[in-house]
């Protein structure tokens, strides 16, 4: 509510600059997709996407000019999302250990991406 009272008028130039940056980001994603960086493929695509999302949140959604409380709310949302991702990904990372056995974890994916699943044995 109080955020409304301090309405910030953003110059059109800023919007255009952000729009330009978003377009560059999109072009970069498409361009990079033509090369195979192995495990870095997803990382690069997601990094560009995150930067673009941050720009949208900060400028198009006016968070950069909002009250500290609004920033805390946005931060909380991102933090909670990070909890979901972190705990889920750690499960994926260590789930194999249990089922395949310790030690076999160093090998998978990187060497033979298209290889059949590490092992169906014993299941």
Partner 1 sequence: MEIAAQPAETQEESVNYLNVNHTVKSWLLTLDHKRIGILYLLSISLFFLIGGIYASLIRLELVTPRGDLLTPEMYNRVFTMHGVIMIFFFLIPSIPATLGNFLLPLMLGAKDVAFPRLNLLSWYIFIIGGAMMMYTLVSGGIDTGWTFYPPYSSIYSNSQVTLAGVSIFITGFSSILTGLNFMVTIHTMRAPGLTWFRMPLFLWGMYSTSLIQILGTPVIAITVLALAFERTLQIGIFDPKLGGDPVLFQHMFWFYSHPAVYIMVIPGMGVISEIIASMTRKAIFGYHFVAFSSLAIAVFGFLVWGHHMFTSSQSMYQGLVFSLITYAVAIPSAIKTFNWVATIYKGSVSYDTPMIYALAFLGLFTIGGMTGLFLAAMGLDIHLHDTYFVVAHFHYVMVGGQIIAYLGGLHFWWPKMTGRMYSEIWGRISAVIIFLGFNLTFFPQFVLGYLGMPRRYHAYVPEFQTLHVLSSAGASILALGFLMPGIYLTASLFFGKKAEANPWQAYGLEWQTASPPPLENFTYDPVVTHEAYDFDSVKEIQEAREKVAVTA
Query: Using CB under 8 A as the criterion, which residues of the chain lie in contact with partner 1 when the complex forms?
Result: 1-2, 69, 76-77, 80, 83-84, 87-88, 90-95, 97-99
CA 12, 14, 16, 18: dihedral to nearest 10 degrees?
-150
Nearer to partner 1, 41 or 97 (CB): 97
Please report how close the Cβ of residue 12 comes to partner 1 at its closest, in angstroms: 30
Nearer to partner 1, 9 or 83 (CB): 83
Please report how close the Cβ of residue 48 comes to partner 1 at its closest, in angstroms: 22
Half-sphere exposure of 69 (CA within 13 A, CB side): 4
Q: How far apart are CA 72 and CA 78, in angstroms?
A: 10
């Amino acid at each position: 509510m109080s955020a409304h009272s301090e309405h910030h008028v953003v110059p059109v130039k800023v919007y255009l600059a952000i729009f330009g940056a978003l377009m560059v980001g999109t072009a970069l994603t498409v361009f990079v997709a033509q090369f195979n960086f192995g495990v870095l493929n997803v990382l690069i695509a997601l990094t560009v996407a995150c930067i673009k999302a941050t720009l949208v949140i900060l400028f198009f959604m006016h968070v950069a000019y909002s009250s500290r409380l609004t920033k805390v709310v946005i931060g909380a949302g991102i933090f909670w999302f990070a909890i979901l991702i972190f705990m889920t990904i750690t499960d994926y990372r260590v789930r194999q250990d249990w089922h395949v056995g310790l030690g076999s974890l160093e090998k998978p994916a990187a060497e033979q991406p298209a290889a059949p699943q590490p092992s169906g044995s014993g299941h």
